Structure 1
């Protein structure tokens, strides 16, 4: 490998991860920054030239990367979600896809001047709604109820459908007559569905057997699973073009919904790999954009983008939800959620090259038009979806509620105090006595084993922003923290000090930091020390601090033995959790929730 190639590959990775960090830091859609940096690195500065860097490996690299991304998407789908939303999802990936395809093709023909075959291909490419954008948006918005499941399922399943549709349209454009074209389309659909489903399920079954019988050592689990994904894609795609994306999606869904073996470690590995692949792919694809891409931005192309957002998507959603039980706010949100992502970018790049090889004179138009749609939809939906969801009552801004794992008497008293301050709380416990205690205090409670596989599907996390694991079992607390850190974020997951034996606990008995949440309240506040304080008469007190009675005055009154628990703002807007690594100084205007002696 030459030095220039090494610099190019390192630059792609560095730019991609750097863009992801900047997007997180400034709360921006990451794809916008990825496209911007890729464009600057490519046509603007000439630093990156993917065609020279990768040569003939460009298309295989893009295809394999997209297959891994879709496999990871399939791993996030739960069939149990379809019990309530299955009909709507089915309509969106059938009726909605057909309407989007045909209407987009008509607009492309009349507004962009594309010939009929190129317009139909563009329409097929743009039916996909990118899970690479929708996933982060849903994590940010956290919509309540069923609407999140609908958007997630549609975004992931649409991608292989769009890929297969694009292949069929491409083959039809090369056919010599209507009869031949019709036969190719029908045969192609049948082959793609049967081959994609068959290969995906077969490879998933093989992997499950290998894992269940311990024929793969632990250190090879991730490597073998990645190899199997590539194998599924390659075999299926070799038998029927672009059916490989369907195969890997089906493989992911099959693995996610079986109970024979645990695949959580595989999911975590793929999530990390997905971020790297998405970041690198967008940099690579944006770097291939023509330098004169702004020449393609004109009134007609902008009108095309506007109609996709304001006419085509609402029409597709309305047609797909006519007889559904979705209420108007849910339909409105669904109609305003169709960003395009990495799959659309990859498909347009692949088929533009194939069209050029076939001698199509309009092949060069596909890439700039598609990237205009990607950039426009990501900007519009990415910046407006959260405010819209809150306005429609489908999401809460900056959720500050607390999920308590463990509903002992003192945990319920702390939860009641937080609730009095205007914050949402939810108690989860498997002990009937604790459940009864919470109910008597009027607290919302859910009886379940927090480590159950299905618990995440049953617990309503609307308005919940923090996890507080306060059971007497340190291992359960740690596992609960691991269970929820991907949902709520590592910084929002807390557990009591894991040194069950208190001050005399041995260091070798303490659970490793990377396997637990942040230490709640402080290193000395174990379950047993908290229980002892309450048994000796300690009470939970809410103290509104003022200029006349500040924190120093509070300490003077209650002494050093008072345990600060939370700081609250006005109207439930801000909740600060005291932790070993976070000991804020209360200020006038805040309310301090603390544990003080009752004597």
Structure 2
């Protein structure tokens, strides 16, 4: 008997391990395909889960994880919401011109009322169930909005509005559902709406206070050295989970509010420790979002979809084209937000895991209270999630372009350090219509760039104020070209997580990690030029009158001819693809030009230029 039990236990453990591996492969694989193709990641993750779950039968979340599935997903959503809160800086809120406050304070009740009308008159739900479901639909949520914004080139203000709304409204929708359910439950026991609202309001205040106190405690412990560096990330994660569970023990569904408040409070304390663990928490969030979405779609019961009726289709259309647009436009009426940005925000409102999870939870409870329409909530919630993800996921880019609320159409180069070398490079790139900005702390050193009409940024690039004053999404690559190699390294190390390690470059010799006199390769950006010239080499060449030259690659004048035309000491610096992409020649990467591309080289003065090359 013992051997048989062990065998069953071993098989179950292996099945769980296999399911976890498959969920990770499908989720991260979908994210990678989205990155390669530009398709919306949330739609691909949804498709991956459906294929792995109900279609092929490779993943059965309910059967494999059992009772652990719901708490696993709940904790994952809490961590995602907390990480989203950490990205909410009040400086960014000021840029939204009050739109976020309007959408939360006005939009939530307006959306609740309009959604209730649509649920009752279009979907055919009874009033109690219609009001409860409409409260849940106030949610958009970071699990869907953040991946959508990551892949779309939306302008700064509508991006901030959508992000703030998603994170702040996530617990709001859950609480509205709780208010309705508690009233339905207590009304049979003689309870009044006022008593329900007062008790839940008190629970929400306590949950918010718990989140704020937890943030203050961490803000006191971390800077004073009471937590060692290697324990800060684990302590933070355990604290978030504890706050979430503790708040839910006081009143169910208030945990999301607590972790959101905790994240926002920590984000505005300016703790250096949070910057150190930022890459870790962002990686965890990407993994959790991928896993949660695959689990969500793999849990889809095709029998539930068979309950889909034509009135539900009419409800989806009403939700997409009437309820959401009316909610946003009424909330933002007479606001300074431009009309094109209002229309984009009015269109984008994908629903995700929170809506489905809460709907499934309340469906069971409503059945116990005798509301037969409760079972329909699962079908409706899945339909809303799939429809909004597909519609909004595939349309956000073309709609943003149509409404002219995209960021910079072409992402360019950010140069740190105004030197003769960087000014010459920027001038040549400007002639090629490449957007370039030069940043420097010296107003005087930036004067030649201003005289040439080159955009400049006067300030310390490493300052926190730079995040507010300079939109880094405009740049695809960075080149640190100051005469201080250590500072160049610091700049590259600071911006590598945001721009990408392969997209930050610096002047400085290609380092040898075995040489104790050089900075380690892991801290540095990619060394400019294939031979990795140092700062002193470039300064000497500037004094000798070296120049930048452009070479256009064609069928007649190919890459080999361009290389052969270079003088012995000349170096290729960067490659401009015909689609606008910039690629530097570095000690670690030598891009291969194609016809139509342009090479920018750094060459000695006074030499005859071959065909295809320009000064």
**TM-score band (shorter)?**
over 0.9
Find the counterpart in structure 2 of residue 489 from structure 1. Answer: 500
Find the counterpart in structure 1 of residue 598 from structure 2. Answer: 591
Paired residues of 1:566 and 1:577 also in contact (CA < 8 A): yes
Find the counterpart in structure 2 of residue 533 from structure 1. Answer: 541
Which one of the candidate residues 570, 582, 586 is aligned to 1:579?
Answer: 586
**2:312 is aligned with 1:305:** no
**2:421 is aligned with 1:410:** yes
Paired residues of 2:510 and 2:533 also in contact (CA < 8 A): no
**2:78 is aligned with 1:67:** yes
Which one of the candidate residues 550, 556, 559 is aligned to 1:542?
Answer: 550
| Counterpart secondary structure, 1:113 | coil
| Counterpart secondary structure, 1:432 | coil
Which one of the candidate residues 319, 342, 350 is aligned to 2:353?
Answer: 342
Shifted more, 288-297 versus 334-343: the winner is: 288-297
Within 2, Cα distance between the matches of 1:52 and 1:506?
Answer: 53
Which one of the candidate residues 539, 563, 575 is aligned to 2:571?
Answer: 563
Find the counterpart in structure 2 of residue 207 from structure 1. Answer: 218
Within 1, Cα distance between the matches of 2:216 and 2:292?
Answer: 30
Find the counterpart in structure 2 of residue 84 from structure 1. Answer: 95
Within 1, Cα distance between the matches of 2:270 and 2:290?
Answer: 32
Paired residues of 2:316 and 2:384 also in contact (CA < 8 A): yes
Q: Equivalent residues in 2 for 1:222-371 (5 A)?
A: 222-371=233-382
Residue 173 of structure 1 and its aligned partner are, at CA, apart by 1.9
| Counterpart secondary structure, 2:181 | helix
Q: 1:10 to 1:546 in 2, by over 3 A?
A: closer
Paired residues of 2:553 and 2:595 also in contact (CA < 8 A): yes
Find the counterpart in structure 2 of residue 457 from structure 1. Answer: 468
Find the counterpart in structure 1 of residue 610 from structure 2. Answer: none
Residue 87 of structure 1 and its aligned partner are, at CA, apart by 1.6
Q: 1:522 to 1:358 in 2, by over 3 A?
A: farther
Residue 326 of structure 1 and its aligned partner are, at CA, apart by 1.3
RMSD of equivalent CA atoms = 2.5
Within 2, Cα distance between the matches of 1:7 and 1:381?
Answer: 33
Q: 1:223 to 1:569 in 2, by over 3 A?
A: closer
Q: 1:206 to 1:414 in 2, by over 3 A?
A: same
Which one of the candidate residues 173, 178, 183 is aligned to 1:172?
Answer: 183
Q: 1:583 to 1:213 in 2, by over 3 A?
A: same
- The normalised TM-score by structure 2 is 0.90
Q: 1:556 to 1:155 in 2, by over 3 A?
A: same
Find the counterpart in structure 2 of residue 6 from structure 1. Answer: 17
Within 2, Cα distance between the matches of 1:392 and 1:462?
Answer: 19
| Counterpart secondary structure, 1:515 | coil
Q: 1:506 to 1:61 in 2, by over 3 A?
A: closer
**2:145 is aligned with 1:134:** yes
Which one of the candidate residues 193, 206, 215 is aligned to 1:182?
Answer: 193
Paired residues of 1:499 and 1:509 also in contact (CA < 8 A): no
Find the counterpart in structure 2 of residue 516 from structure 1. Answer: 524
Shifted more, 28-37 versus 329-338: the winner is: 28-37
Within 2, Cα distance between the matches of 1:154 and 1:492?
Answer: 31
**2:386 is aligned with 1:375:** yes
Paired residues of 1:164 and 1:192 also in contact (CA < 8 A): no
Q: 1:379 to 1:93 in 2, by over 3 A?
A: same
Which one of the candidate residues 125, 145, 148 is aligned to 1:114?
Answer: 125
- The normalised TM-score by structure 1 is 0.92
Find the counterpart in structure 1 of residue 613 from structure 2. Answer: none
Paired residues of 1:285 and 1:349 also in contact (CA < 8 A): no
Shifted more, 419-428 versus 264-273: the winner is: 264-273
Q: How many aligned positions are there?
A: 595
| Counterpart secondary structure, 1:443 | coil
| Counterpart secondary structure, 1:567 | strand
Paired residues of 1:168 and 1:188 also in contact (CA < 8 A): no
Paired residues of 1:72 and 1:267 also in contact (CA < 8 A): no
Paired residues of 2:141 and 2:167 also in contact (CA < 8 A): yes
Within 1, Cα distance between the matches of 2:459 and 2:408?
Answer: 27
Which runs of 5 or more structure 2 residues have no equivalent in the other structure? Answer: 1-8, 607-615
Residue 70 of structure 1 and its aligned partner are, at CA, apart by 0.4
Paired residues of 2:60 and 2:299 also in contact (CA < 8 A): yes
Within 2, Cα distance between the matches of 1:568 and 1:249?
Answer: 43
Residue 462 of structure 1 and its aligned partner are, at CA, apart by 5.8
Which runs of 5 or more structure 1 residues have no equivalent in the other structure? Answer: none
